């Protein structure tokens, strides 16, 4: 159940990354910064919108039956997807930025005030790359569809 949910979440974030909502808004004459949803930003809104096609692809591709029982890539996909979504929800972003700033201050490193912001941006980039790499790795390592296995078995038994 958890691995299936992590693959569905990863597929949702992957589709939201591939769908250029911000670019489409700019081309339509709408300022993407003006589109505000209380508590989230445009990337989180894209992930919510991408849930419907991700669910359709998940069901049509029979991914629930095809995801291997244990996969490191599925775990990485879940972690990166959750990190990506957490970085695009305002309350968790504020807490994470505060934790990064506290960590930098506790380390005793003298840093510019923009360093915590750059560290959060680096985390966001790592989360995007992690979703892209782990999503592809999970999709490449899927088991064969259950229906195809039955058809191959029945053809093989008829040939004997």
Low-confidence ranges of the chain (pLDDT < 50): none
pLDDT at 32: 64
pLDDT at 152: 53
Classified as helix, coil or strand, 99 is helix
Rounded Cα distance, 57 and 32, in Å: 28
pLDDT at 114: 76
Structure tokens at 100: 């990064």
pLDDT at 158: 59
pLDDT at 35: 67
Structure tokens at 58: 């998940």
Domain boundaries, the chain: 2-159
pLDDT at 130: 93
- The neighbouring-strand residues paired with 89 are 40
pLDDT at 141: 82
* Residues 43-55 pLDDT 10s: 777 788 888 888 8
pLDDT at 80: 92
Q: Is residue 119 a contact partner of residue 69, using CB atoms and an 8 Å limit?
A: no
Structure tokens at 122: 């680096």
pLDDT at 147: 62
């Amino acid at each position: 159940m958890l691995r299936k949910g992590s693959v569905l979440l990863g597929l949702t974030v992957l589709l939201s990354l591939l769908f250029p909502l911000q670019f489409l808004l700019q081309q339509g004459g709408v300022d993407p910064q003006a589109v505000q949803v209380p508590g989230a930003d445009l990337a989180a809104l894209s992930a919510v919108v991408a849930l419907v096609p991700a669910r359709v692809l998940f069901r049509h591709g029979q991914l629930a039956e095809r995801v291997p029982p244990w996969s490191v890539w599925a775990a990485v996909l879940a972690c990166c997807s959750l990190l990506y979504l957490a970085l695009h929800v305002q309350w968790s972003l504020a807490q994470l930025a505060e934790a990064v700033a506290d960590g930098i201050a506790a380390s005793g490193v003298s840093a510019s005030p923009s360093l915590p912001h750059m560290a959060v941006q680096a985390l966001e980039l790592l989360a995007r790359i992690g979703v892209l790499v782990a999503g592809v790795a999970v999709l490449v390592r899927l088991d064969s569809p259950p229906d195809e296995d039955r058809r191959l078995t029945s053809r093989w038994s008829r040939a004997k």
